[in-house]
Amino acid sequence: MLTINLIREKKELIIERLKIKNFDAEEIITRILALDLSRREIQSKAESLQSDMNRMSKEIGALMKEGKKAEADSTREKTSWLKEEVRSLNDKILPIEEDLKKEIIRLPNLPHISVAPGYGADNNVKVREGGTIPILPDSALPHWDLIKKYDIIDFDLGIKLTGAGFPVYKGKGAKLERALISFFLDKAVFAGYTEMMPPIMVNEDSGFGTGQLPDKEGQMYNVGLDGFYLIPTAEVPVTNIYRDVILSSDQLPVKNVAYTPCFRREAGSWGAHVRGLNRLHQFDKVEIVQIAHPDNSYIALEDMVRHVESLVSELGLPYRIMRLCGGDMSFTSSLTYDFEVWSAAQKRWLEVSSVSNFESFQANRLKCRFKEKGEKQTRLVHTLNGSALALPRIVAAILENYQTENGIKIPAVLVPYTGFDIIT
């Protein structure tokens, strides 16, 4: 959510910058400014009358004490119309504020200056790449065949228990999953992140804080009876830890990491390219989150990108880092880097991580602020997060890229975690 101050002061700049995201903000901003103005006018009026009321109430109190009942009563009579007036003005403010908020939350975050215009994945910019693309024999299998061949992930069983997109990991498949989670967590803790185990259901306030609600309601599973939502990513609980919090500048940056299962309804997104592990309703992910000083948030972003890069690189997966264009970036993001790994049997790139700086956009929804040491003024923090990493596609890439005639080899860094070096 952009701040009302920014909208008041930098209207033209916002309109310009949002064009990069192919968003026409002009009409919305015009409405916002009009609502803002009328809100302030009414508020001023109401508050000055309220001030009169407060003064008269005190007078009545004083008169009663002195025993001047008649004078107190005459003052009391005078307050009645004021009371009406204040009430009717305040009643006008509420719906205006609601409308104002409704309009403001429709504005996407401003893209960073380095973000290129564009409409989709084709306009993303390749920043770096690494690793070597393996050449597999013609007999190489896609991962959905490999998991059957080695009996390590069972989709049919998941369908029986829950439904499509809820796989059951079995034997060495389950162990590989757990090994990856441990590996990712250990790496993050070593890099200075604090491990968290948050709830995987959140309330509505949390959903609003990170931007899933109210618009992306259909993406999350709703536990109707209790009004909770299953988290689509650990970003939601871990970032919302700092909702309504004022940090001191020497606590920044806050660096947290969490493993959680993630749940996504993925309504309407099924089709080609979603076979096997490519898209699931429930999957495992390790997420890193930083709360940063606004002056340093792009250093933090770079730091996170390097961290994620070290993970894919140590797993020996061919990868590339893409800077998303305006049209491919999320509503809430200022700058996003996507990590893609090469899936050797599908012969395509799979997105395994998305690392973003939200600047103060989430912080404003969260009311997460900080104070510079010794200063009175509060400022909004910057929030960042990134997958480090999302498991299913990493598993898919490992299975495909590391397949041999004798079985699937396990990347060397994982062997201490799995306890085996080949799946047969």
In sequence order, what are the beta bridge partners of 125? 323
What CA–CA distance (Å, rounded) separates 391 from 409? 17
Contact string 388-407 vs RNA (x = CB under 7 A): --------------------
DSSP state for residue 93 in the 8-state scheme = H
Phi, psi (rounded to 5 degrees) for 75:
-65, -40
Minimum Å gap between C-beta 85 and RNA is 12
Selected binder of RNA within 33, 56, 105, 116 (CB under 7 A): 56
Selected binder of RNA within 376, 405, 406, 424 (CB under 7 A): 376
The verdict on 245 binding RNA (CB under 7 A) reads no
**C-beta closer to RNA: residue 161 or 246:** 246
Residue 311's closest CA among 257, 273, 236?
Answer: 257
The verdict on 74 binding RNA (CB under 7 A) reads no
Minimum Å gap between C-beta 253 and RNA is 20
What CA–CA distance (Å, rounded) separates 1 from 360? 8
**C-beta closer to RNA: residue 222 or 313:** 222
Region of 73-81, 120-128, 152-160, 324-332 interacting with RNA (CB under 7 A):
73-81
The verdict on 80 binding RNA (CB under 7 A) reads yes
Q: Which helix (H) or strand (E) holds 127?
A: strand 125-130
What token pair was written down for 178? 């757990």
Minimum Å gap between C-beta 293 and RNA is 16
**C-beta closer to RNA: residue 70 or 376:** 376
Residue 385's closest CA among 250, 246, 267, 212?
Answer: 212
What CA–CA distance (Å, rounded) separates 41 from 303? 46
Number of residues that bind RNA (CB under 7 A): 28
Sign of CA dihedral 407, 412, 413, 415: positive
What CA–CA distance (Å, rounded) separates 204 from 116? 34
Minimum Å gap between C-beta 55 and RNA is 7
Applying CB under 7 A, which residues contact RNA? 4, 40, 43-44, 47-48, 50-51, 53-58, 60-61, 64-65, 76, 79-80, 83, 246, 369, 371, 374, 376, 378
